[in-house]
Amino acid sequence: DRGALSDIPAWAGDMGHSVKEQFDQNNEYHFVLEKG
């Protein structure tokens, strides 16, 4: 759901990780995270 666009980056930040890339492809949301 579209809430993931804000929920996942917030979760990553809270856990000490960073979002390197996020995109929508073929109606799927993709997130590339760097482990902190």
For each of the chain's 36 residues, which pLDDT tens digit applies?
Answer: 789 999 999 999 999 999 999 999 999 999 999 999
pLDDT score recorded for residue 3 = 92
Domain that holds residue 15: 4-34
Task: Please compute, for residue 36, the number of CA atoms within 13 A of its CA located in the half-sphere on the CB side.
Answer: 11
pLDDT score recorded for residue 13 = 97
**Is residue 19 classed exposed, middle or buried when 0-12, 13-18 and 19+ CB atoms within 10 A define those classes?**
middle
Q: Which amino acid is at 16?
A: G
> Which DSSP symbol is given to 12?
H
The total domain count for the chain is 1
pLDDT score recorded for residue 29 = 95
pLDDT score recorded for residue 2 = 84
pLDDT score recorded for residue 1 = 78
- pTM (whole model) above 0.85: no
pLDDT score recorded for residue 12 = 97
